Amino acid sequence: MFDTGSVPVSAPDLAALRLLGDRVRPLAGAGERTLPVPEAFAGLLPQGGLQRGSTVATGGTAATSLALALVGPTTGTGSWVAVVGLPRLGLLAAAELGVDLERVLLVAEPEARAWPATVAALLDAVEVVLVRPPGPVDVSVQRRLQARARDRGSVLLQVGGDLGMWAQGPDVVVSAGASSWVGLGPGHGRLQARRVEVAVTGRRGADRPRQAQLWLPGADGTIAVAEPTRAPLREVG
Amino acid sequence: MTNGSATRALVVHCPDWPVTAAGVGPDEAAIVVRANRVLAASPAARQAGISTGLRRREAQKRCPQVAVIEHDPSRDARAFEPVAGALDGVTPRVEVSRPGTLAFATRGPARYFGGDEALAERTGWIAAEAVGRGVVARIGVADGAFAALLAAQRAHRQAVSTGRSAPMMIPVGASPAFLAGHPVEALAEVLDQPDLIDVWRRLGLRTLGLAAGLPVADVLARFGGGGVLAHRLASGLDPRPLDARRPAPDLAVSRELDPPADRVDRAAFVAKALADELHARLAADGLACIHVLVEAETEHGETLARHWRHEGALAAGALADRVRWQLDGWLTGSAIARPTAGISRLTLIPVEVVAARGRQLGFWGGETLIDERVLRAVARVQGTLGAHAVTVPEARGGRSPMDRVIRVPVAAVDLTSPRPEARPDAVTEPWPGRVPAPAPAEVWSDPEPVEVIDAQGRPVGVTGRAEVTAAPASLARSGHRPTQLTAWAGPWPVDERWWDATRHRRRARFQVVEANGTAHLLAVEAGRWWLEATYD
């Protein structure tokens, strides 16, 4: 009567469950105050993401692509990203690197005088503000912007340019080292994929530099960790 | 009143009020646009074939000399305040549904003035005087404000076609029959539920009569509370849900202003805080406000009060907007209507509340609370840097990376609704010859002139048959030392707009990689090399 025979229960899809768990996790948990980043970056960044309230800078030969790749998942969750200045930002590249252009505000480069107020207003409203300061930033201005970011849980991200503009270095620096393109030869082919050496250094919890080889983008357009063993690919750069 | 049968109401409706409020003369062709679509058009523009909802560009095509005015709700409300104020002499319960349209119950004033016809005539005179010459105010009387509004609109159409202006009176009890013939889209006048209306239309419920014919229980089951509201409107019933009730008087919120405010921005600041407070207080009780009374008291004891009604619930932001519009109307109004002293007390009284059905915010993405903050920040940045300083991306067809996503002013789009056109995959047409992915992360809007040199130090050229004269070996940018090129491909010829002599461009593109691993997109045009983009 009480049949204890096995009832077929499909094994839970652990990966899917974990993903679901991640998503329904309370948002204000202490360790979760980070913005999502592509999986390839998760192991590189000190908190596994962009820590809310922090300042981040990207540099090197792929500074712009790195910044765009880092903010992509944030726009994917419906949050907004603002860009101040950077008139040369390739928006098509942004879309290809995972940025949802529906969630992007572009603000024309303000005069140096209006720059701090503009950035502060945007830090109030959006999750990440991409900047490249037009000139040296005062200690007091930087403190104010950092306090605003901490208060609102937003991230100030400098895209390339001179890190010396700031009175104080950023919390995390994501820089691209040697990069090499795949697919283009002497007189033939086309650019298909780029392998970049990405190094993360910083002050807060990231003093030990971390490095990895990333595809930015890979041949299929995605961002991925490149296998440490060098695949027999023709190097062109 | 049994089961919410509609209250007899009179509606004063000024067609195309946003145009009137912008100060457009009767013979000028002008349109007011919001989110790039025509919101209102002057009579001259309408004669040129411009209708509401048209795209701005299409409107300019039909009438090239038309003046385009950006929509400003506070301007509309400010200009409407004298009209509402003038009608205070007829009845104290004038309710502004939105700038350009107001309604009041006829029960008391009709008896006083001797019937609906006399009341309508009298209201017509007063309104016509208040709106000024050359501007029309149409009157409709019917059971229920919705039917009365449609009656006023019909009065307008009749006046335009026959040249005779007269109030439209729908006899008592005849409103359902009057409504039945209207298209279901008429609901959009009072309901902010475009999806529901669209679904009804596609289901074949093309007229209000057909929609009203559905059993209400089925409408509730399928379309929820919003559907029932639309159904009640279509049936000529009072739109107010049955659970509308008078809230307890202690729900009113009030604030002293010390020192008294004589400028709108100061008063509006307090109004915003009050609106937030009222909204929070009502929300704590699970209520939402559909009808609010805004009262302001001046130092000299003058009180100014105005009713605002909204069929959907008024959110905190919408509430604050209405208070600001109204204060704007008073404090900047004509010398006679303006209060003699600053505002010393501001009170918001919720007159009717309904159970808050709430708005389901997006769980992951979609509509989130952040959006309102974003809109405020956009307004602030526009305030300091100018309206065109803030742009958003929009995808276009094109071959080069710079053509495929352009920046459009944020004033021309509606940030609160989904914008699939922002995504590059919105462009589905093929563009043969476009630069393949990945796209460069840095594009030069003004390409930089460069030199491309072959191994012997001679400049590289491209022949008319799209062949290079020699293999490119190094790249010289002005101010930099020439760098070795380790890889290159091209030329990829692009012959664009050959049909247009002035915009015709014949170019050939190259991809090159420098020795340090940096890749560029170059173009050669008329023998000169340009750096178009960098794969940064």
Which tens digit of pLDDT belongs to each residue from B161-197? Answer: 887 888 899 999 899 999 999 999 888 888 778 888 8
Contact between residue A61 and residue A214 where contact means Cβ atoms under 8 Å apart: no
Q: Do A102 and B518 touch (CB under 8 A)?
A: no
Q: What is the pLDDT of residue B522?
A: 92
The mean-pLDDT minimum among A16-25, A163-172, B128-137, B413-422 falls in: A16-25
Pairwise CB contact (< 8 Å): A221 & B393: no
Best of B369, B375, B381 to mutate (most A CBs within 10 Å, chain A): B381
Q: Does A102 touch chain B (CB under 8 A)?
A: yes
Question: Which tokens belong to B372?
Answer: 């309102």
In angstroms, the Cα distances linking B223 to B5, B36, B182, B287, B456 are: 22, 30, 21, 21, 76
Rounded to an integer, what distance in angstroms lies between the CA atom of residue B35 and that of residue B52? 12
**CB proximity list for A223: less than 8 A, separation 6 or greater:** A38, A40, A41, A69, A97, A98, A214, A215, A216, A217
Is the pTM higher than 0.90? no
Instruction: Determine the pLDDT at residue A202.
Output: 81
What confidence score (pLDDT) does residue B47 get? 87
The C-alpha angle A175, A176, A181, rounded to 5 degrees, equals: 165
Distance from CA of B336 to the nearest CA of A (A): 40
Strand blocks (E) in B42-122: 67-70, 95-98, 101-105
Nearest CA in chain B to A188: B489
With cut-offs at 50, 70 and 90, classify the pLDDT of residue A232. Answer: low
User: What per-residue confidence (pLDDT) applies to A30?
Assistant: 41
Enumerate the residues of chain B whose CB falls inside 8 A of the CB of residue A23: 364
**8 A C-beta contact, residue B237 and residue B5:** yes
CA distances from A213 to A179, A218, B51, B141, B502 (A): 9, 12, 58, 75, 48
Q: Contact B441/A89, CB-based, under 8 Å?
A: yes
CATH 3.30.559.10 fits B249-355, yes or no: no
Question: How many cross-chain Cβ pairs, A to B, lie less than 8 Å apart?
Answer: 191
**Residue B380: what pLDDT?**
82
Contact residues, chain B, for A185 at CB < 8 Å = 487, 489
Residue A130 has pLDDT above 90, yes or no: yes
Q: What is the structure's pLDDT at A26?
A: 53
Cβ of B423 within 8 Å of Cβ of A121? The answer is no
User: A87 to chain B, minimum CA–CA distance in Å?
Assistant: 8
Residue B354 DSSP code: E
CA B34 to chain centroid, in Å, comes to: 5
**A chain contacts of residue B382, beta-carbon cutoff 8 Å:** none
Picking from B422, B486, B536, the nearest residue to A65 by CB comes out as: B536
Asked if B439 lies within 8 A of A92 by C-beta distance, the reply is yes
Binning pLDDT at 50, 70 and 90, where does residue A158 land? very high
Cβ–Cβ gap A93/B441 under 8 Å: yes
Tell me which chain A residues have a C-beta less than 8 angstroms from the C-beta of B374: 80, 105, 125-126
Using CB atoms, which residue from A64, A88, A187 is nearest to B471?
A187
Strands of the sheet containing B95-98, edge to edge, are: B168-169, B138-143, B8-13, B101-105, B95-98, B303-314, B287-298, B343-355, B253-261
Interfacial A residues in 164-203 facing B (CB < 8 Å): 178-181, 184-194
Question: Which chain A residue has the Cα nearest residue B367?
Answer: A78
| Residue B202 token pair | 């596609």
Which helix (DSSP H) or strand (DSSP E) does residue A95 occupy?
A: helix A91-96
State the pLDDT at residue B526: 85
Structure tokens, B495:
């012959």
- Kindly list the residues from chain B whose CB atom is less than 8 angstroms away from the CB atom of residue A237: 486-487, 513-517, 519
CB atoms within 10 A of CB B317: 15
CATH topology of domain A7-172: Rossmann fold (3.40.50)
pLDDT at residue A117 greater than cutoff 70: yes
Instruction: Write down the domain spans for chain B.
Output: 8-242, 249-355, 442-535
Quote the pLDDT of residue A31. Answer: 42
* pLDDT recorded at residue B248: 64
Rounded to an integer, the average pLDDT of A42-48 is 85
Q: Which residues of B356-390 are buried (b: 16+ CB within 10 A; e: fewer)?
A: eeeeeeeeeeeebebbeebeebbebbbeebeeebb
CA distances from B35 to A14, B39, B69, B419 (A): 45, 9, 12, 11
Angle among Cα B320, B323, B326 to the nearest 5 degrees reads 150
- Grade residue A29 by pLDDT with cuts at 50, 70 and 90: very low
* pLDDT (tens digit per residue) in A190-221: 899 999 999 998 875 556 778 889 998 888 88
**Token reading at B232:** 């009640």
Out of A23, A89, A125, whose CB is closest to B364? A23
Q: What are the domain boundaries of chain A? A: 7-172
The minimum CA-CA distance between B229 and chain A, rounded to whole Å, is 31
Residue of A nearest to B447 (CA): A88
Amino acid letter at B294?
A: V
Q: How confident is the model at residue A9 (pLDDT cuts 50, 70, 90)?
A: low
Q: Is B277 helix (H, G, I), strand (E, B) or coil?
A: helix
Tokens of B231: 């159904």
- The residue of chain B nearest to residue A154, with distances taken between CA atoms, is B370
Taking only the tens of pLDDT, chain B with its 536 residues reads 344 567 888 999 998 899 988 888 778 889 998 878 888 998 888 888 888 888 888 888 888 888 888 888 778 888 888 888 888 888 878 888 888 888 888 888 888 888 888 999 888 888 888 877 777 889 999 988 889 999 999 998 888 888 788 889 999 989 999 999 999 988 888 877 888 888 999 999 899 999 999 998 998 888 887 888 889 889 888 766 444 556 666 778 888 888 888 777 777 778 888 888 888 888 777 777 878 888 888 888 888 888 887 766 667 777 777 787 778 777 776 666 677 888 888 888 888 777 765 544 444 444 444 467 788 888 888 878 877 888 999 888 888 888 888 888 887 777 766 777 888 887 777 777 788 888 999 998 888 899 999 988 888 988 878 888 888 999 988 888 889 999 999 888 888 777 877 878 888 899 999 988 889 999 998 889 999 999 98
Contact B519 A184 (CB under 8 A): yes
A94: distance to nearest CA of chain B, Å? 7
